[in-house]
Each structure stands twice: as structure tokens, then as C-alpha cells.
Amino acid sequence: MQSRRFIFPVVFSILALAGCEQLPDSNSPQSNFQQVYDSISEQELKQHVKTISSDEFEGRAPTSAGETKTLEYLVNNFKTLGFQPGNGNSYLQAVELMEITADPNMQLRMGQNTFEYQKNMVASSKRETAQVNLNDSEIVFVGYGVNAPEYNWNDYEGLDVKGKTVVILVNDPGFENPESGKFQGKTMTYYGRWTYKYEEASRQGAEAAIIVHETAPASYGWSVVSNSWSGPQYSLVSKNGNSDRVAVEGWISLEAANKVFAEAGLDFSHEKAQAMQGPYSKALGTTASITINSKLKKSVSNNVIATLPGSVAPDEHIIYTAHWDHLGMDTSLKGDQIYNGAHDNATGVAASLTMAKAFSELSIRPARSITFLIVTAEEQGLLGSKYYSEHPIIPLDKTVANLNMDALNVLGRTKNVSVVGMGKSDLENYLQSAVTKQGRYLTQEDRPEAGSYYRSDHFSFAKQGVPALYAKGGNEPINEATAKYRKRASVVVKGCYHQVCDQFRENWDFGGIQEDTQMLFDVGYSIANSNDWPQWSKTSEFQR
């Protein structure tokens, strides 16, 4: 990635000497940038959100009838706006998924305690097999389940967990002990993410990995776990059938964990306190058993990719991402059965389409190409963006930057802009310029302990070395009226995360989304018309 910064200026110098088209300038008399910027409207954003989060789209589950309707909507919009197919002659990139639906008639036995599916435990398997059996597997508490040499921390050191069940704390050691200097304090690292916990347990050879849910360090309640980890679960199709994954991946509630530790003659809170101090493990002297019967179905979902070719360097791209998928339908529910996903993430899709329209209306096309990648299966573990980053259509060394949009601000205009994962790259220089124009300022995300930088699609690009930015309206309302509205609306927004009540509401204030869409339009436009190759900061884990 580093070598790219030296190539680009040379290319532009050659083009200039050859009399080719010069870099577009937003201040040029021929440019209508400001007019287009100002035309980004609340009403247009609102209409897109209202449409794709309607019941007609059935919650936009991958491989469902809702996907078909969503793809048609997206492709038709991009075609109308003059964006070209991003994948040869197609606007679609097929993503082969393995859909695994666990039979909910299961029980998890830990010691003499039996826990019920969704009530106080959830479990599934990523292995592509109809049945997995965990029989009297020895239980070992492995603290945070972290193996991080750069932090001099390894909870698995000297431990053989092959064939065993590991019980793991959520988040990382810095969260509840921020003054200790461990990890990054309250700011979650990737070691705190549930995805990492299962990955590391698999590398260690464990047979099962069970995470203890606690609302504060997880940053969401048990209902989110229950809803998100039940029903069809997806993974990318694997050549080895995911045989190298732990057989059982699950969660238990805090109440369940207290019972398991108590039976072993231990106090959970005491053991947790020990684990916070340094690498820690302890065998509980009890065993775990569960049988998971699953229905397997290979299916194909799709990413949507559309490009507006650049006027000077069309092979170099700024890629905007958002995910179109949500949780679909649950016919076992009484009353409303559709997870409409209005906030998460019809808002990001709406911003993408509105921004695409803005780019299409520019009188002077950007120098670099603008590409929108609207991905599938984000809710299942960033699978659509993961697949793309591992099978890129646009070479990663030609991908200048990634700008991501997920669950945008429906709480009204703000004085500040929240940078998720602040300080990771010099993309923030472009962001700073864009927000200064709006009379706003940058702040760190208000809950860095939630690990949001690792929870949306930009992370797939970051892992591959592409500088990625995730920023949106902050927590400081623009005025007193907005503050009052925000106080009321935030209760609904937070309470409806991954619930059927995440629905479009006519009284939502789209001023914040409008401002953020203009901001990200400006950022992408500026990068596209520069000769820079943004870099990671020296302290970023992705730089290393």
C-alpha cells in the first residue's frame, strides 16, 4: 500500500504535460459543486428510507424475496443515475453463503444446570454438518480469551483446550479497568469483539466457545443476542466446511454464568476480577453437553456495485459502502413479524443513493472513479464486505479509500461529528475540512467501548490495508429544540435496535442525515480530485 503514494503524482504530472484534462476544481466557475451539494435534500433521503424499510421489502433478509426487491430497487436507481455496472456487465457480485438454521429445540447442560434456547442461552454451529454433539466437554474459564502479543497478554498460555469448552468474558481487559493502562482503556480493540473470541478459540483447538453476556461491556442487551443469534445464520461457503471452527459457538446470560460458577464452588464476579488483572484461566471441574441439529442450505446472495468512471484516473476508486440487508421476518412472533431495519440500515442505503445522484449531477466529473458498494449479510458478521475484500473487483491497490455509512443520525442536526475509531488514518484530514465548512467539529465516538469500528463493513477493507473512514453526526444537538426532540427519539432508536420496531417514522428529523450525507459527499469528492493516497496513522493496528 505504501508504494502507491509515489506513483500517483507521477501519473498526474505526465497527464498534465500531455495536455490532458486537469484536476477538477470545486471553486472553478464551470463547477456546479456547491449547487449540487446544496441540493442534497431531507425529502429525498426520507423517501428512500420509507420505501426500502416498508413491509413490502420483508425485512431485507439475504436470499429472500425481500432481497430480490431490494436489488431491483438499487440497480434501477443506479441505472437511472447513469452509473455503470461495477462488475463487468453486471451490477451484482454473487456471494455464496451457507445458511445454517439450528433447531431451537436444544438445551445446554453445564454441570447440573440446564439452560433454555433464547431464554438464557443461544448456540449454533458454523460447521457445515447436520448435527454436532458436545458430550461432557470439560469447561475451562479463559478470562477474556485473548492472545495479544503486542499487549503482552495471552489467556491461553500454557493451556491445552483441545476438545474442551471455553467460557469467555465479553469485551477486553481495558473496559472495566480503564485506569490500568491495559489495552486501550474503555476503547474496545478487536480483541473485545465476539467474532475474535470464536476465532481465537478455534485456533486454540477448543470444541466449544461460550461468551458470557453482560449488557455494559457488550454494549447491547440480551434481546439483541437472542434475536441476532437465532434463526438462519450465514457464513461464507468454505472449502473445508468450516471444520477448523469450534463445533459450538454460543452465549449464556450473566444469570446463567453465576449458576455455572457457583456449582463449581466459585464466585463469577471474583473470577472476573482476577481475569481483569492479567492473563487468567481456571478449570471449573464441570462439563458441558449440547446437541445442535441444523438444516443446511447453500444459497447465493448479492452485493451491488455501481461506478461513475473518473475523468482523469478512472482505474482509481473511492468506494462508498453501506449494507442493504437486515434480519428479515420471524413468523413465530405474534403481531408484527417484520424486522424493517429503517435506521439499520435503510438510512445508509438512502445516503448512498442520494449521494450517487449528487455525483451524477456534477458538471465536471471527479478525476477518480466513484464506486458504491452496497453489500449483503452485514448482520451475519460483515459477510458481504468480507467476501468482496477477499475477492475484490477493483484491485485493492487501486482502491484509494473506503467511506462507510451505517445507521445514520435520525436524531437531528449536531454541532459535532463523531469519528468512529478516531485517529486511525489521515482520511480525517479530509473529514476535518468538510465539517469545518459546516461549522462543526470532530470528536471521538461517545461510546468507544462498543467497538463500533469493528462492527461495520469498513472493517473488511481496513483488514486488507485500505484506509477506511466511519463518521456520522455526534451527540451534541444544534439547538434546544433539537435537544428536546433528541431526548424523546433516542429512547425509540436505542430500544428498537435489531427489533421489529426499527421502523420508518414520519416524525424523524432527517436534518442530521442530510448534513452527514453532504459531508461524506464532500469528503469523497475532495479525495477523488486530489493526487493523494491517504495512509494509516503510525499508531493504527492496520499500519502495523
Residue type present at position 441? Y
CA distance 155 to 149: 11
**pLDDT for res 177:** 86
pLDDT tens-place string over residues 19-63: 345 577 777 778 899 999 999 999 999 999 999 999 999 999 999
Confidence (pLDDT) at 15: 39
Task: Say how far apart CA 53 and CA 503 lie, in whole Å.
Answer: 7
Grid coordinates representing 291?
446437541
pTM, entire model: 0.81
Q: Return the closest-CA partner of residue 521 out of 482, 477, 471.
A: 471
pLDDT digit string, tens, across residues 169-208:
999 999 998 888 888 888 888 899 998 999 999 999 999 9
Position 22 scores a pLDDT of 58
Distance CA(240)–CA(244), nearest Å, equals 8
Give the integer Cα–Cα distance in Å for 492 and 504.
Answer: 11
> How confident is the chain (544 residues) per 10-residue block, as mean pLDDT?
37 38 70 96 98 98 96 98 98 95 96 96 95 97 95 96 98 90 87 93 98 94 89 88 96 98 98 97 98 95 98 98 96 94 98 98 97 96 95 98 97 97 94 98 89 92 96 96 96 93 97 98 98 89 66
DSSP of 38-50: HH--HHHHHHHHH
Q: Which three cell numbers stand for residue 521?
A: 459527499
121 closest CA partner among 137, 142, 147, 102:
102
- Are 351 and 405 contacting, i.e. CB atoms less than 8 angstroms apart? yes
What whole-number distance in Å separates Cα of residue 18 and Cα of residue 75?
37
